[in-house]
């Protein structure tokens, strides 16, 4: 089900993500939930959850020591961009 506020998010999201990341999760989940209606109730929810976590991971990283997420630095973002470009180039050549 779509979330009307971050207070409605699952404990796994609220307990481990900062507020901004929770907002990203909520917006991405709700958008994907609407977009993937054809996947049925369970598939739709699983897909929306995966999309939401992917959106969060674009901006936040998990600290393995504490288990909490924090905003990723520029170094991490540059690494992601390089990886995405390599994947795009590989997919284009296939």
Residue 63 confidence (pLDDT): 75
Residue 78 confidence (pLDDT): 66
Q: Please choose, from the candidates 19, 17, 78, 88, the residue with its C-alpha nearest in 3D space to the C-alpha of residue 53.
A: 17
Residue 19 confidence (pLDDT): 94
Q: Please choose, from the candidates 66, 55, 67, the residue with its C-alpha nearest in 3D space to the C-alpha of residue 22.
A: 55
pLDDT per residue as tens, the chain (94 positions): 899 999 999 999 999 899 999 999 999 999 999 999 999 888 999 999 999 999 999 888 887 777 777 777 666 666 667 778 888 888 887 6
**Radius of gyration for the alpha carbons in the chain, expressed in angstroms and rounded:** 15
* Structural domains for the chain: 6-93 (1.10.1740.70)
Residue 77 confidence (pLDDT): 62
Residue 47 confidence (pLDDT): 96
Residue 61 confidence (pLDDT): 81
Give, as one character, the DSSP assignment of residue 65. T
CA dist 54 and 20 (Å) reads 15
CA dist 19 and 4 (Å) reads 15
Contacts of 13 (CB under 8 A, 6+ apart): 22, 25
């Amino acid at each position: 089900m779509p979330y009307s506020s971050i207070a409605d998010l699952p404990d796994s999201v609220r307990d481990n993500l900062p507020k901004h990341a929770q907002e990203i999760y909520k917006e991405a989940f709700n958008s994907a939930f609407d977009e993937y209606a054809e996947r049925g109730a369970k598939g739709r929810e699983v897909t929306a959850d995966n999309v939401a976590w992917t959106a969060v991971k674009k901006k936040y990283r998990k600290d393995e020591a504490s288990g909490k997420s924090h905003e990723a630095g520029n170094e991490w973002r540059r690494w992601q961009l390089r990886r995405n470009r390599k994947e795009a180039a590989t997919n284009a050549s296939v």
